[in-house]
Amino acid sequence: MHTWLFETIRVSDRIKPTTFEKYEGLYRNYVKDSPLYSIKLSELKALQVQRYYNGLSDIGKSRNLIENLNKLLKQFFNYAVYDINIYLEL
């Protein structure tokens, strides 16, 4: 995810610098050292992501923060799936 964020999103002309800063903060604070980070994408299940979100909610993180995190992860997962599909077509 780090590579995608810094080598694809950061240089995209479709993303404002303030949006990248928000994404980078979400990555640094809620992805990089999270329980999800060490799970291989091929082994990651939706229930694991939901449990992570539930845990964040349980410790008082706002719905808005969780929704923003979900938006970031969804973009990354879509990119990762697209990337692997391109590779498999070669």
What's the chain's average pLDDT?
A: 90
Q: What pLDDT was estimated at residue 87?
A: 46
> What span, in angstroms and rounded, lies between the C-alpha atoms of 50 and 85?
25
Q: Which domains occur in the chain, in start order?
A: 2-89 (1.10.150)
Q: Encode pLDDT of 37-67 as tens digits.
A: 999 988 999 999 999 999 999 999 999 999 9
C-alpha distance from residue 38 to each of 1, 31, 55 (Å): 11, 10, 17
Both structure tokens of 89: 């077509």
